[in-house]
Each structure stands twice: as structure tokens, then as C-alpha cells.
Amino acid sequence: MSLTKGQEMTLEQLRPGETAIINGISTNGGDEGDLMEMGLTSGTEVRLIKYAPLGDPMEIKVRGYYLSLRRSEAKAILVERVKREATGKP
């Protein structure tokens, strides 16, 4: 599947090294408030740094700090990709 710039996707679908802008958090289970309080609000830039050795959780950079969250939590975060680095590696 090739994703073009601007297409709606979730944070979980980003690849390491990619940057995206948050579009919103889908409400499932009431945790969206917790993520927003950590600074994951609409319009904020996030970068996926890497996945943990077993592929989960993931590490992102947001508002100047590093945050670890599970893939299941990242699925709730809607993003718009802004650029992809040439290698796709962290």
C-alpha cells in the first residue's frame, strides 16, 4: 500500500524516522484524555523514533521529549504524514 502525503492514517502505521502531524485522537475507552494531556493534541508534530526490540511498544518524540506507548494506544491517534526519510531507518 503506498501512502501519499496528506492521507489519513494512524500513528501506529508510521515507520521509524517518519514525522507526522496529529489530527486527533479517536475516543475508545477514555484514554484519549491521558494522551492529550501528555501533549498529543491536534496540530502537534510527532516523530516515530523506533520500536522496542520485540516490535512493541514504540518510542516517539513529541514536544521535545521522548514517549513510549504501545501500538494498541498508537492506533487511536490519527495523524497526517509530513515526510519520509530516505532510508526509513531511525
Q: CA 18, 70, 77 angle in degrees (round to 5)?
A: 60
Residue 31's identity, in one-letter code, is D
Residue 39 binds to another protein (criterion: CB under 8 A): yes
Segment near another protein (CB under 8 A), from 5-13, 32-40, 79-87?
A: 32-40
Cα–Cα distance list, 18 to 38, 78, 82 (Å): 20, 14, 8
Residue 9 binds to another protein (criterion: CB under 8 A): no
Residue 35 binds to another protein (criterion: CB under 8 A): yes
**Shortest Å distance, C-beta 9 to another protein:** 20
**Shortest Å distance, C-beta 2 to another protein:** 26
Per CB under 8 A, the list member of 41, 78, 82, 84 interacting with another protein is 41
Cα–Cα distance list, 71 to 68, 86, 87 (Å): 10, 24, 22
